[in-house]
Structure 1
């Protein structure tokens, strides 16, 4: 392996030890910042990673912890103690409880609780559904994304299907692309929504806030959401509506963005809140009131249509009474099954 070079191209002693990397800095490296010398000397690591190690006290200069902007005099001995980065644990099994609704040799259907992130990403490298799946089904490590073919937002609860084989994953992705997977959601919104409707508006990244999505975006992808009203209610004088939503496409935040664009933001939504009444602050519910309660698909092996149904979790069942509704307002499984199978 070629020796790392200093900014003036003189070689540095490079010792790859079991516990640390040792760098002997030449005398003529004078006035250079520590972070710059580290980046030049250790090109296999990103600048951000090296900086994070310095800030974490994992880099010493002559035995002392210092700062990234520290100016070297030349002749120092530097030790770098590589730290494991969060993403290294992203695909590690974790013993996280899962409610498995159905499983066979090809697919798994889970009822995701609110608060559980589906896939590891920045800010959530561990404690995800993927980590839980790898613990319970170790063979999923051989599949892209551990067999996950679609997602739910962190604070959205409900049914998801996961593939257990490459063939099943291909078949499920095809069904999602062809829009033959039946997905129904329950959504509690502010306002008195019409008895039924369909939203046709592209969904894409909000140009003013890159953390949000926006309806009608010129850079977005086509999206369609159908809905029907199940019940009307109220909270301290402000109208509320329980909707059943059906997705024809599966864009990020689609239901939340589409309903907000109509003036019906979801109860508890902390991001899409236009036209949310002031009284909303008094409602003790702080996640978007959205639950994927029904799922229908063609089994990858048998080619038979299979359907699953799950009532909302406890927090949403409590919300029903808080906004003047009851469990009787929820869809009946027998009626729903017939409806899903005719999608």
Structure 2
């Protein structure tokens, strides 16, 4: 099975000086770098109408034209796994991702991922880049994701994400008591010393997170976050930058803080909570076929509901 893909992009001045393949990876982020490099070498991805080398530097302002035939990707094997599908039609699939599920295969997770499950659920996704995955959630983050089932839907969703018109809202439980909500407008990029982490850095990409307080406890706060951008680990990095790291975050959470006088049950729950307390609760976008606004919500999973119950009980008992 194959399909023909046509995309055009203009290289922004901010990418001036980068290699052609690096700039292409920024603008066509729904494709792997290996596939983009192959298209460049085959002349299917051109620079101002001419074939260029992957290592050639771009000036900014050039036109990238992608005209490629998509073949089925046979690198990843379909695997039967339970998926909590909330909605599905011919164009899109919306699911509620559980904690512990990796979205895309990588060196440490070659299988058992959402992508493998999607290929089993809908074999035609083998012909769509990344099996239709257009945005990700971290392994231990729960909640809503949308998957494109056609090239048309994928192009539409990627364009909406780039235009920041997809609405994504998250529930988070953070360490510390916030006095008010706010906005974090701080660029995010690779940590200068630890390549596995992200950090607020002047050389990073623009990143904006809005947050508001939902409920306060003695040593924690339940907040609701809305993303304008979708950088890797964005909410985790931004809230840690504000010194309100996500509860249970092993990477950005810092030292565990227990409320003074807390019960042994609450202390044990806080010590053993196995993941960052983050859940994608609401997702809204324009449907690629009907062009009508659509929206889904996913209730908090049981582990976060239990955590909130314990924090409320602790708050009431200490008043």
Work out whether 1:290 is the aligned partner of 2:278. Answer: yes
- 1:149 aligned to 129, 134, 146, which one? 134
- Specify which of 253, 267, 292 is matched with residue 304 of structure 1: 292
**C-alpha RMSD of the superposition:** 1.8
Gaps of 5+ in 2: 1-72, 260-265, 315-319
Pairing 1:185–2:170 present: yes
Give the Cα separation in 1 of the matches to 2:242 and 2:308: 22
| Cα offset, 1:219, TM superposition | 2.1
Q: Higher relative contact order by CA 8 Å / sep ≥ 6: 1 or 2? A: 2
Aligned length: 234
Following TM superposition, by how much is the alpha carbon of 1:315 offset from its aligned partner in structure 2, in angstroms?
1.0
**Residues 89, 301 of structure 1: alpha-carbon distance in 2 compared, 3 angstrom cutoff:** closer
Structure 1 residue 310: Cα displacement = 0.7
2:203 pairs with one of 219, 222, 230: 219
3-state SS of 1:323 partner: helix
Q: 1:285 to 1:275 in 2, by over 3 A?
A: closer
Report the Cα offset of residue 318 of structure 1.
1.0
Conservation of the 8 A alpha-carbon contact between 1:90 and 1:131: no
- Render the CA deviation track for 1:153-192: whole Å, top value 9, x for unaligned: 0000000000000000000000000000000000000101
Conservation of the 8 A alpha-carbon contact between 2:188 and 2:231? yes
Which of 234, 251, 254 aligns to 2:234? It is: 254
Shift in Å, 1:286: 1.6
Partner of 1:244: 224
Name stretches of at least 5 consecutive residues in structure 1 with no aligned partner.
Answer: 1-87, 327-343
Superposed CA deviations along residues 21-65 of structure 1, whole A, max 9, x for unmatched, are xxxxxxxxxxxxxxxxxxxxxxxxxxxxxxxxxxxxxxxxxxxxx
Match of 2:190 among 180, 184, 205: 205
CA offsets 1:240-288 (integer angstroms, 9 cap, x no match): 0000000000000000000001110101100002364266974131200
TM-score under structure 1 normalisation?
A: 0.66
Q: Are residues 1:97 and 2:82 paired? A: yes
- Aligned partners of 1:200, 1:276: CA distance in 2, in Å? 26
CA distance in 2, matches of 1:295, 1:320: 22
Q: Does 1:107 align with 2:107?
A: no
Work out the CA distance in 2 between the residues paired with 1:270 and 1:320.
19
Q: TM-score, normalised by structure 2?
A: 0.71
> What SS does the corresponding residue of 1:324 show, helix, strand or coil?
helix
- Looking at structure 2, the residues matched to 325 and 159 of structure 1 have their Cα atoms a distance apart, in angstroms, of 29
Q: Match for 2:216 among 214, 222, 232?
A: 232
CA contact (8 A) 2:76 2:116 kept: yes
Secondary structure class of the residue paired with 2:170: strand
Indicate the residue corresponding to 1:38 in structure 2.
Answer: none
**Separation of aligned partners in 1, 2:75 and 2:95:** 20
Alpha-carbon displacement from aligned partner over 1:108-145 (angstroms, at most 9, x marks no partner)? 00100010000000100100000000001011001000
Residue 137 (structure 1) aligned to one of 101, 122, 138: 122
Partners of 1:314 and 1:200 lie apart in 2 by: 32
- Rounded Cα–Cα distance in structure 1 between residues aligned with 2:209 and 2:277: 17
The whole-number CA distance in structure 1 between the counterparts of 2:255 and 2:291 is 45
- Judge conservation of contact 1:114–1:155 (CA < 8 Å) in 2: yes
| Whole-angstrom CA distance in 2 between matches of 1:258 and 1:170 | 29
